[in-house]
Each structure stands twice: as structure tokens, then as C-alpha cells.
Amino acid sequence: MADDELYRMTAVQAVQHLRHGRVSPLELVEAAIERIEAVDARLNALPTRCFERARAHARVLMNGGGDPPHAAHWLGGLPIAVKDLVDVAGVRTTYGSPIYAEHVPARSDLLVERLEANGAIVIAKSNTPEFGAGASTFNEVFGKTCNPWDVGKSVAGSSGGSAAALASGQVWLATGSDLGGSLRLPASFNAVLGLRPSPGCVARGPELEPFSTLAVEGPMARTAADLALMLDAMSGAHPCDPLAVPAPAHAYARQMRETHPARRIGFSTDLGLSVVDGEVAALCAQAATELASACDAELVEEVPDLSGAQNCFQTLRAAGYAANHSDTLARHRAQLKPEVVWNIEKGLTLTAAQIGAAEHVRGRLVQNTGEYFQRCDLLVCPTAIVPPFDVDVRYVEQVGEHRFDNYVDWMTLTYAISLLGCPALSAPAGFTAGGLPVGLQIVGPPRGEGRVLAAAQALETATGIALRLPIDPR
């Protein structure tokens, strides 16, 4: 089978070929390498490649190593990309920071160990901003990542390298992580899918803050079925992650197929929190209508009361940055980008009373949302408030007459949802008049991953956007 046929397959199709012996893991590795070398010079999505490690892993699988091929979530030797915030044993892992430019970990993160145990082959590390801070992917180690839909535009962040690699067909699946929107915003900007699962769905670590629920790991893919496949391969309890829960009795792929997404869908263009570009709002309103029609659901303009979410998130985010990076600031201040310095310093000035007040606000938001999901099955809204912007812009400073206070502020529609403990994904909603992708954020109740995946698949069928991927950079 020709390499160009292989990279155009969905992950589900590729795994089926692996299961039935129609293609080997090594053939897929070579197809991915050929595609990476053909297109990534224009994108810089996968700056760290581990091709020989991938080839060696493929040979082990082909010689009968690893779990049996009938295992429930066996990926069978499918090459994937891993975000450069996540350790891969023996592979340069920089966290996007010059401080760790030559860092090579001895052990992989729990997430990578699980994926490899389930038949994934790590072929490259995807680019990310320094320590994942900021929703545009650039750093002082590797430079900027460009958008395959328009190489003059941003891929968003912080999982921007993963999103661009998927959209351009360099890998079939990729990992991402999400604190304030780092899975969902790149998915929106690149016309792929990114899922922020409920906390504990995917084991991670070792972590300095193992009980934190703001940051999660999750899957990225080109189709809803591929997303479900990867979530199944990622999920499950682990003794080193106290929050991780067992995988569900019914696989997420099965839940996606068997769950009716919704009878009542709440929609808002702004969640009552933020300004939104007019073209983005219109495209998402149309996509919400298409989703409701596909689900035979009632579409209502109703959202939970999320007032106070901005200050709450900014406070808890800053506290986390201080907890995780205060020592880095003290020792390497000159090497940190200014946005990271600002966030750490903001955290160091917080009082216990301020942090406690933010936790109380979060509790109120969670309660409001729980009551909301007794009335509505899903909440949908735009993922990003703007289409992809210039690749050399660090962050969105202004929309219309509204100016944002800091580099995080424009991400309100995703970070407000991060506070709630709900699964949320971005699915392609359409394209602007200039041909730039726009994503629709789909939010479900806690542990409602199957529901949001089913909704994403319904929207995917209605729009047909997934059929346009992968693309050549343009």
C-alpha cells in the first residue's frame, strides 16, 4: 500500500489494517516519517523526532512483543505524537523552555507508559509554548509552529504542534493537555478535535500537585471515532495517580456509538462572559443548529450562571504557577518568557484569603452547572472568540473595542469550562470567508465523555469537514 494512502487513513482504519495484518507497524512508521519530512519544514509541528526509537519499537511489536493484539484498546503499532510537556524515556523533552533545552528523561510519564502498553508508537514530540503557558505555540528552543490551513496564522496553544501535525497528516493521533483550553483552542484553529476529559479519566504523573483538577491530559484526532479510540487507549486507574479512575465498563468508542447525544441543548455565543468575533459567533450558531437537527434536539439559549469565572480561574491558575515554578523563577528568571514571569509573580502575591475565595466561587460554579445539566443535556458555544490570528502575534490583545488585561484573558470561553470538572471538546464548526477554521465547544456533565463524543460525531456527519483532512500546508 502506498504511503500516501496510509497517511490519509483515519486512525480507526489504520488500526483495523494493523489488526488484520494488511499493514505492519513498521510500514506505518515509515509512512509517517515520509510525511513528516515532506511537510513539517513549513509547519514546525514536530521538532523533536525519535524515528530510530519508533522503528525499534515497531520491530518489537512485529516480533510478538507487547500486549496481545486482541486486547480491548490495542492500537497495534500506530505511530503517535506526544506533546513536549510530557516525558518520553530517552527522548529530548524540553517543555518548550531553554532551561530544559537538552533534557532527556530516563522514565516516561504514566500517560506514555499506558499508550505504549496499548500499542502506540511514539514517533515525535509536538511543539508547545514554554511550560504550556499561552495559547499560541512558539518558544525559544524551537521557534513558532505554523497553521497548515494558512502558514501565516497561529495554531493556538498550547497543544498547537499536535493539532498541526494531525491536520497535515503527519500522525494519526496525538496527545494534548489542557489547563485553560490548551487542547480545545488548537483543535479549533486547525479543524481537528481535542477533548478535555473529566479529571481522573486519564492517569498522569508523577506530578508536583497530584490532587490538582485544573490540568488534564487528553486525546487529539481528526475524527470523533479516532478521538474515542485514543481516549480508550489512554484511560484507566493507576496507583501513582490518586485521582485516576478505572476505565468505564463500556468503552468510550461503544458509548459514542450507542448514546443519543441530547434532547435539549443549551447554546450561547459568549457564555455571558466575553466579547466574540461576529463571524465566529455566526458560524457557531449555525453549527449549533445543525447539531440540534442531527440529534433531533431542542436548541435553547440557556447557560449556567458562570459569573466570577474569570477572576476565579486567574487566581487558581496563578497559585498553581507559583506552586510549580517559583523555584524556576528564582534560579532562571532571565530565561523565562515575560508571560510566565508575570503568572508566577501574580501567584506569589496571592493571600490565603484570595485563594480560598476563588475556591468558593469555583464551588458555586460547579453547583450551578450541576443544576443546569438537570435541564439540558449539553452546553455548546464557540471554542475560541476569534479565528486564527497572525502567527507572529503572541496573544489576542483586543477584539472590537474591548482590550484584554493579560495574555490569558482572551481564553475565557474555555478556561471558564475548565473550572467545572466537565468533559469538553472542540469540534470543527466551519470556516470563515477567508478559509480559516472555527470550532464549536461541546460540554457535557461530569463523566459524560460518551455523550460529548456522540455529539461530535453527529456534528461531524452533518458538516462533512473531517472528509477534507488531512491537508497539505497552504
Q: Tens of pLDDT along 373-382?
A: 999 999 999 9
pLDDT of 55 reads 98
Residue 252 in any domain: the answer is: yes
Give residue-wise pLDDT tens across range 207-233: 999 999 999 999 999 999 999 999 999
Supply the pLDDT for residue 72: 56
Active site residues: 83, 158, 182
Q: Is residue 474 part of a domain?
A: no
How many domains are contained in the chain?
1
Residue 356 is assigned to a structural domain of this protein: yes
- Alpha-carbon distance of 168 to 147, in angstroms, equals 9
* pLDDT given for residue 302 in this prediction: 96
pLDDT of residue 71: 62
Question: In which residue ranges of the chain is pLDDT below 70?
Answer: 1-3, 66-72
* Phi/psi of residue 431, nearest 5 degrees: -135, 145
pTM given for the model: 0.97
Crossing angle of helices 224-234/11-19, nearest 10°? 60
Q: What is the pLDDT of residue 131?
A: 97
Question: What pLDDT does residue 67 have?
Answer: 58
**17: CATH:** 3.90.1300.10
Confidence (pLDDT) at 64: 83
**pLDDT, position 158:** 97
Taking only the tens place, the pLDDT of each residue in 252-276 is 999 999 999 999 999 999 999 999 9
In a domain, 473, yes or no: no
- Asked if residue 199 has a cis previous peptide bond (ω within 30° of 0), the answer is no
Provide the domain limits for residue 102.
3-468
For residues 440 and 187, what is the distance between their CA atoms, to the nearest angstrom?
A: 10
Residues 440 and 257: their CA atoms lie apart, in Å, by 20
Residue 4 confidence (pLDDT): 75
